[in-house]
Amino acid sequence: MEKISLRSQHFTKPGPCLWMQAGIVKRKMCTIDYDCVSCKFDRAMCRVSEENRRLREAGKAPRGKRGKIMFWKDTLNKMPVAKRPCIHSMKGRIDFRICANEYRCSDCEFDQYFQDQYTVHAVLKPVDVMNVDGINIPQGFYIHPGHSWVKIEEGAFVRVGLDDFALRLLGPLDSIDAPLVGKEMKQGHAAISVSRGSKTAKVLSPVNGVVTDINPKIKDQGGVANASPYADGWVVRMHSENLRKDLKHLMIGDEAETFVRNEVDRLYKVVEEAAGPLAADGGHLTEDIYGAMPQIGWERLTKSFLRT
């Protein structure tokens, strides 16, 4: 297989939406790094395209400007093969390359090769991070009520980890264990195990999917996650077939911010009930809540906040 050159390991600049590149809309810039799965515009365009397709199959002609909308893949497939851009070219990941597979990426050897290379080279480096009472929440990451997170990658692939709140709550971990490659993880079910000394806890899976990669750094060095929750501390990479459905049960942006703020308030109440005023650094939560106040109880903290 040929070598490919990744233009960048992290993409932040807006680029032309796939629907714009196909000529379906005049102007639409993508500001979410081509995260089509969570894009409201993409969902709306797909819905209209599907409605128009059904009308045509029924022998009816869609009307108006709305009736001209069709799937961007169908539009590009009308072009000569030599001019059809690979989806990775459209997303700015590689230089121009043709698509000779009618945009059936699941059957494409190059797509699989690219995904493997991208997994090796890509590094999660959140650019915009919200700080909520000392807890970091990166933009573009989905948060589960049990304090695990999801970052969408290419296609139906995601990375999963523990959020900053959970890692501050439990303090420095000795190890983090995940299901083996090929094993299935179910949304809302205990899937990831963490340990600190003789204490152990389970973390709920934020989505349904099959494990494709495990972070080798964290099995015996759980502290890597504490130091870098959203980058080096990722836990597993998964393939999630019904991602759009799963994301409806997660939080992102303002919703995630509100959730974490409420969790911080709830934690303060728990601390005050069990141990008096919380040890703080500049008014923010410490990096080791349990270590600072073990009298609260490991079981109480994990049951209350990890929802296990």
Asked if 274 and 296 count as a contact pair (C-beta separation under 8 A), the reply is: yes
In the sheet that 142-143 helps form, which strands lie side by side, from edge to edge? 142-143, 148-152, 157-162, 236-239, 209-214, 184-185
Q: What is the pLDDT of residues 97-136, one digit of tens each?
A: 999 999 988 788 888 777 666 654 455 565 578 899 889 9
Matching residue, tokens 């290379």: 117
- Is 9 part of a structural domain of the chain? no
* Same structural domain, 183 and 212: yes
Q: What is the pLDDT of residues 139-152, one digit of tens each?
A: 889 999 999 999 98
- Is 5 part of a structural domain of the chain? no
* Same structural domain, 130 and 236: yes
* Same structural domain, 133 and 245: yes
Residue 1 pLDDT > 70, yes or no?
Answer: no
* Same structural domain, 49 and 71: yes
- Please tell me the predicted confidence (pLDDT) of residue 280: 44
Q: What is the pLDDT of residues 187-201, one digit of tens each?
A: 999 999 999 999 999
Matching residue, tokens 């497939």: 77
> Which of 68, 99, 121 is the last residue before a domain boundary?
121
- Is 2 part of a structural domain of the chain? no
* Same structural domain, 114 and 138: no
* Same structural domain, 38 and 185: no
Sign of CA dihedral 256, 135, 308, 272: negative
Q: Hey, how many other C-beta atoms are within 10 angstroms of the C-beta on 206?
A: 30
The larger pLDDT score, comparing residue 258 to residue 220, is at 258
Q: In 3D, which of 23, 73, 64 has the Cα closest to residue 46? A: 73
* Same structural domain, 145 and 46: no
Residue 3 pLDDT > 70, yes or no?
Answer: no
- Is 27 part of a structural domain of the chain? yes
Once rounded to an integer, what is the mean pLDDT over residues 195-220?
94
- Is 246 part of a structural domain of the chain? yes
Q: Give the whole-angstrom CA distance, residue 161 versus residue 302.
A: 16
- Please tell me the predicted confidence (pLDDT) of residue 108: 86
- Is 7 part of a structural domain of the chain? no
Residue 294 pLDDT > 90, yes or no?
Answer: yes
- Please tell me the predicted confidence (pLDDT) of residue 58: 93
- Please tell me the predicted confidence (pLDDT) of residue 33: 82
* Same structural domain, 200 and 261: yes
Q: Hey, how many other C-beta atoms are within 10 angstroms of the C-beta on 208?
A: 18
* pLDDT band per the 50, 70, 90 thresholds, residue 274: confident
- Please tell me the predicted confidence (pLDDT) of residue 229: 94
CA dihedral 103, 108, 113, 117 (to 10 degrees): 20
Domain containing residue 250: CATH number: 2.40.50.100
Matching residue, tokens 């894009």: 39
* Same structural domain, 178 and 85: no
Cα 267 to the center of its chain, rounded Å? 26
Percentage of the chain surpassing pLDDT 70?
A: 89
Asked if 190 and 179 count as a contact pair (C-beta separation under 8 A), the reply is: no
- Is 1 part of a structural domain of the chain? no
* Same structural domain, 128 and 75: no
Query: In whole angstroms, how far apart are CA 257 and each of 56, 170, 210?
Result: 44, 20, 28
Tokens of 142: 């989905």
* Same structural domain, 241 and 304: yes
* Same structural domain, 137 and 108: no
Buried b (16+ CB within 10 A) or exposed e, 144-174: bbbbbbbbbbbbbbbbbbbbbbbbbbbbebe
Q: Amino acid letter at 275?
A: A
First to last CA, the chain: 45
* pLDDT band per the 50, 70, 90 thresholds, residue 283: low
Geometric angle at alpha carbon 260, from 12 and 297, rounded to 5°: 130
Number of domains observed in the structure of the chain: 2
Task: Work out the mean pLDDT of the chain and round it to a whole number.
Answer: 88
Cα 253 to the center of its chain, rounded Å? 13
Note down the domain range covering 192: 124-308
Q: What is the pLDDT of residues 37-55, one digit of tens each?
A: 778 999 999 999 999 999 9
- Please tell me the predicted confidence (pLDDT) of residue 202: 98
> Which of 121, 136, 166 is the last residue before a domain boundary?
121
- Is 6 part of a structural domain of the chain? no
> Which of 94, 121, 148 is the last residue before a domain boundary?
121
